[in-house]
Structure 1
Amino acid sequence: MARYIFITGGVVSSLGKGIASAALGALLESRGYRVRLRKLDPYLNVDPGTMSPMQHGEVFVTDDGAETDLDLGHYERFTGRPANRMDNITTGRIYKDIIARERRGDYLGATIQVIPHVTDAIKAFILDGNEDYDFVLCEIGGTVGDIEALPFFEAIRQLGNDLPRNGAIYIHLTLMPYIPTAGELKTKPTQHSVRELRAIGIQPDILMVRADRNVPAEERRKLSQFCNVRPSAVIQALDVATIYDVPIAYHNQGLDDEVLAAFGIDPAPKPNLKRWTSVVDGIRNPEGEVTIAIVGKYTGLKDAYKSLIEALQHGGIANRVKVKLDWIESEIFEQEDPAPYLERVNGILVPGGFGERGSEGKMLAARFARQHKVPYFGICFGMQMAVIEAARALAGIEKASSTEFGPTDEPVVGLMTEWMKGNELEQRAAEGDLGGTMRLGAYDAVLKEGSKIAKIYGGTRISERHRHRYEVNRSYREKLEEKGMVFAGMSPDGLLPETVEFADHPWFIGVQYHPELKSRPFAPHPLFASFIEAAVEQSRLV
């Protein structure tokens, strides 16, 4: 029987509930338990797919094509278990389903209300499909007190009574601020947050207190007394040098022991943390350093590239080097010469994106990398811009462009209207809805025998996650290959270009998919490991 752990947040947002949930999942896995992590988001969007990266951060895509919260990326990276569309739910998706059922008459004339209909739908989602797991961790987005989160808090309160005794526990993550003028950490915000939670009917079993310094024993005693939790259940969650320190740090604070004790599990299996000590050792003790320029259009919010940042770090772990990131807004290159920005870096990465803004700057970054033999990694939009740049500069197609930017006589990149997903034909219209209509999720690709990318993967058949609406037009393939750009990967039916490369370049690869989504600290993605290896080689030439 699955046991449930509900993780809530208080005082302020962005405290790291996602990392805390992922780290706890990793700790439970280290003891041999089967773990599932799920995210419940209170916002009214059906999913984050149409939300601006500058507002919501990265959209994490699962194998089955769900556009989900970026915390699911943390879950996958820390546990290695692939997430799916049933691991993330939003208020919008809950209401959409309830309204559709009401229109069909499924409620037999009943008045539809938040309680019981909305809360029952949330509970059904939480309980569904957990037969194969020992622990199910459910993170509630936002903070206690948010009006939109109330149905979720009510649902998990009810589940505490619905489940068998010792079937569920509650963990509350809060902030303990340090007031410099007073010279002390303050417990009052946490006390107020717990009081708000208890007013809803939820008594936390464990408090996780985020602080920038050690919490004195007296303050921990005060929190225990006023928040009605055991003294050992007040866990300090301190800042660490890298997020991969978090599982070990929480274990040293006794988090996993306290969780198992709350469930009455005694004796508990011993943890095996060798995987995490090895990862942390690789980060703490690098044998060199490389600088990678990320030329993007959402660089003002690093969470927009969360999986990318982590995958580059994984590549550094694989090569035992520190990866320093140089963030460059692509629009700068449309006013200034890219050379002063790029001549000092060891690799250039142009990530995914949408829209025309900054596209010319991304092309200029690709041109600099191509001409100066700097390792180049183009992902999704970054591949498309590299292809358009090559079409203009090498193939003489001066008006080469993308239909994403408007009508063009030379649609080197164009809107996809149909593609195969398994044995089914997917079709889209240019004027159709934006939400959930891209080529999403895992698709196979066939790599050219002997190509650079096939050697990196160690095979010619791969499966990677996609999220795009536009595609390189294969009609231009012959002209581009005459100029040295190799279409090294294609969809199995041969219709959709998946990867490009230059055979005469040390490392110049573009991919239509998002390999960063499948990289893990203990299993770096081969493309990122190879890209950082090429950057190391380039650094030796400077």
Structure 2
Amino acid sequence: MARFIFITGGVVSSLGKGLASAALGALLQARGFSVRLRKLDPYLNVDPGTMSPFEHGEVFVTDDGAETDLDLGHYERFTGVAARKTDSVSSGRIYSNVLEKERRGDYLGKTIQVIPHVTNEIKDFIAIGEDEVDFMLCEIGGTVGDIEGLPFFEAIRQFAQDKARGQCIFMHLTLLPFIKASGELKTKPTQHSVKELRSIGLAPDLLVCRSEGPIPQKERDKLALFCNVRPDAVIAAQDLSSIYDAPLAYHREGLDQAVLDAFEISPAPRPILDRWEDVSDRVHNSDGEVRIAIVGKYTQLEDAYKSIAEALTHGGMANRVKVKAEWIDAEIFEREDCVPHLEPYHAIIVPGGFGERGTEGKIKAAEFARTRNVPYLGICLGMQMAVIEAARHLTDMTDAGSEEFDHEAGKKRFTPVVYHLKEWVQGNAKVERAVDDDKGGTMRLGAYDAVLAEGSRVAEIYGTTNIDERHRHRYEVDIRYKKQLEEKGLTFSGMSPDGRLPEIVEIKDHPWFIGVQFHPELKSKPFEPHPLFRDFIRAAKENSRLV
């Protein structure tokens, strides 16, 4: 039977609850416990799949096809535990489930209310798989006091009451602001946050306090007194130069020990932190630097490409180099020559995206990389743009385009090198989609197998010819043009098992030019860098010595 840790936040958002949860999960693993992490989000969207990256950052996709919050990426990267559909839920999903049951008559004519029907639905979600692990960590999105979060706070209060004493604890993350004018670290916002938490029936067992520097003992004692926690349960969360220092930093502060003490687990297993000591060493001790250009369309918010940024860091760690990734708006290349913008970089990534804006700029970035022998990694839309670029400039298909941008063929004639995917095989079933279907959850989502060509570069990189990777797209490269493109040097080196869907393209006589239809960044971890990112940074490192 799992022990439950509920992580809440107060004072302001974006304090790092997801990172704190992930680091705690890693520390509990280091002590020999099994863990699973979950995110409960109060927003009314059913999932983040239809939310703009400018609003919410990237959408993290699980093996089983769930579109989730980016915090699940932190959970996976720090623990190595693959997230599932049952690890992410929103108010929208909860209310949708409740209303579906009401329409079916499952409630036998009762009046449907937040308590007990909505809170029961939340509690049922929390309890899924509780017999599978030693610890279940559940992060509640938003901050205490948010009106939309109240059903979740009430649900975890009830859940803790339903369980045996000592089976649930509460960890509250707050901010300790430093007032320069007075030279003081202020505890009052945390006190008010805890007061708000207690007013809805929750009392924290641990306080994790974000601060710019160390917390003096005087302030720790004050927090312990006024927030009714033990002094050793007041944990400092100082600003770090790398997120991968978090497990070691929290361990030094005693977070994992405070959690075990709260559960009265004694004697506590000794932690084995070799993995994180090696990760920290690789982060801080590099042998050089490579500059990577990320040519995208959501460049104003770095969280839109969070997993790509982290996967690049992992690739740098594997090669003992620091990766300096810089975001470039693809639209710039539709107005200006891309050459002076891209020449300073050792490698180029064109990531995924939706819609026509910026696509011509991405095509120019792919052309620059192909013709200048600069390492290139195209991901999802980035692969499609590389294929369109090759079709336009290496074959006679000068009007090559994508159905995603050129829906009305009667208004604009083009060769549909990329088309809307209307059916595909998932497991043993055929999936069908139409252009005018609802947008949420209707893409090719989750892990799919791919077969790599013998002797191809990607087969060498992966060390196998059979892989599975996560997808999130509704448009595909059309294999009708495969022969024409391969005759000009663009090899289709990875295909779906039935041979119908291109998964990877590469140029053999290029230092490093690979496009993938899937999202390899979603499976990269600091202690297990994804093979493609590891080799991509190796190629960038080699190119840095040539330029």
When normalised by structure 2's length, the TM-score is 0.98
Unaligned runs of 5+ in 2: none
Aligned to 1:125: 125
Aligned to 2:348: 348
CA distance in 2: counterparts of 1:364 and 1:429, whole angstroms: 30
Aligned to 1:479: 484
2:514 aligned partner, one-letter code? I
Instruction: Report the alpha carbon displacement of residue 307 of structure 1 after superposing the two structures with TM.
Output: 0.7
Aligned to 2:381: 381
Instruction: Report the alpha carbon displacement of residue 397 of structure 1 after superposing the two structures with TM.
Output: 1.1
Instruction: Report the alpha carbon displacement of residue 218 of structure 1 after superposing the two structures with TM.
Output: 1.1
CA distance in 2: counterparts of 1:448 and 1:376, whole angstroms: 20
Residue by residue over 1:18-54, the C-alpha shift from the partner in whole angstroms, topping out at 9 and shown as x without a partner, is 0000000000000000101000001111100000001
Report SS of the residue matched to 2:213. Answer: coil
Pick from 460, 463, 467 the counterpart of residue 465 of structure 2. 460
2:435 aligned partner, one-letter code? A
CA distance in 2: counterparts of 1:184 and 1:392, whole angstroms: 63
4+ runs of 1 displaced by more than 6 Å? none
Worse-superposed segment, 218-227 or 436-445: 218-227
CA distance in 2: counterparts of 1:157 and 1:96, whole angstroms: 22
Aligned to 1:235: 235
Aligned to 2:22: 22
Aligned to 1:264: 264
Report SS of the residue matched to 1:404. Answer: coil
Report SS of the residue matched to 1:269. Answer: coil
CA RMSD of aligned residues (A): 0.7
CA distance in 1: counterparts of 2:13 and 2:469, whole angstroms: 32
CA distance in 1: counterparts of 2:464 and 2:136, whole angstroms: 36
What does residue range 203-222 of structure 1 map to in structure 2 within 5 Å? 203-222=203-222
Aligned to 2:422: 417
1:220 aligned partner, one-letter code? R
Residue by residue over 1:103-141, the C-alpha shift from the partner in whole angstroms, topping out at 9 and shown as x without a partner, is 111101111100001001101110111212110000000
1:270 aligned partner, one-letter code? R
2:200 aligned partner, one-letter code? I
Aligned to 1:302: 302
Instruction: Report the alpha carbon displacement of residue 300 of structure 1 after superposing the two structures with TM.
Output: 0.6
CA distance in 1: counterparts of 2:349 and 2:132, whole angstroms: 40
Aligned to 1:137: 137
Q: Does 1:537 align with 2:542?
A: yes
Pick from 466, 470, 474 the counterpart of residue 469 of structure 1. 474
2:430 aligned partner, one-letter code? L
Instruction: Report the alpha carbon displacement of residue 161 of structure 1 after superposing the two structures with TM.
Output: 1.1
CA distance in 1: counterparts of 2:42 and 2:462, whole angstroms: 40
Residue by residue over 1:314-353, the C-alpha shift from the partner in whole angstroms, topping out at 9 and shown as x without a partner, is 0001101100112111111111111111111110000000
Aligned to 1:150: 150
Q: Does 1:320 align with 2:320?
A: yes
CA distance in 1: counterparts of 2:522 and 2:458, whole angstroms: 18
Instruction: Report the alpha carbon displacement of residue 221 of structure 1 after superposing the two structures with TM.
Output: 1.2
Aligned to 2:115: 115
Instruction: Report the alpha carbon displacement of residue 396 of structure 1 after superposing the two structures with TM.
Output: 2.3
Pick from 514, 517, 537 the counterpart of residue 522 of structure 2. 517
Aligned to 2:194: 194
Aligned to 1:8: 8
Report SS of the residue matched to 2:19. Answer: helix
Pick from 500, 504, 508 the counterpart of residue 505 of structure 2. 500
CA distance in 2: counterparts of 1:480 and 1:531, whole angstroms: 23
Report SS of the residue matched to 2:404. Answer: helix
Unaligned runs of 5+ in 1: none
Instruction: Report the alpha carbon displacement of residue 476 of structure 1 after superposing the two structures with TM.
Output: 1.0
Aligned pairs, how many?
Answer: 542
CA distance in 2: counterparts of 1:178 and 1:160, whole angstroms: 34
Indicate the percent of aligned positions where both proteins have the same amino acid: 67
CA distance in 2: counterparts of 1:301 and 1:327, whole angstroms: 10
Instruction: Report the alpha carbon displacement of residue 406 of structure 1 after superposing the two structures with TM.
Output: 2.1
1:138 aligned partner, one-letter code? C
CA distance in 1: counterparts of 2:312 and 2:197, whole angstroms: 39
CA distance in 2: counterparts of 1:451 and 1:128, whole angstroms: 43
What does residue range 247-262 of structure 1 map to in structure 2 within 5 Å? 247-262=247-262
CA distance in 2: counterparts of 1:144 and 1:536, whole angstroms: 46
CA distance in 2: counterparts of 1:429 and 1:482, whole angstroms: 33
Aligned to 2:365: 365
Aligned to 2:166: 166
What does residue range 51-130 of structure 1 map to in structure 2 within 5 Å? 51-130=51-130
Aligned to 1:48: 48
Report SS of the residue matched to 2:485. Answer: helix
When normalised by structure 1's length, the TM-score is 0.99
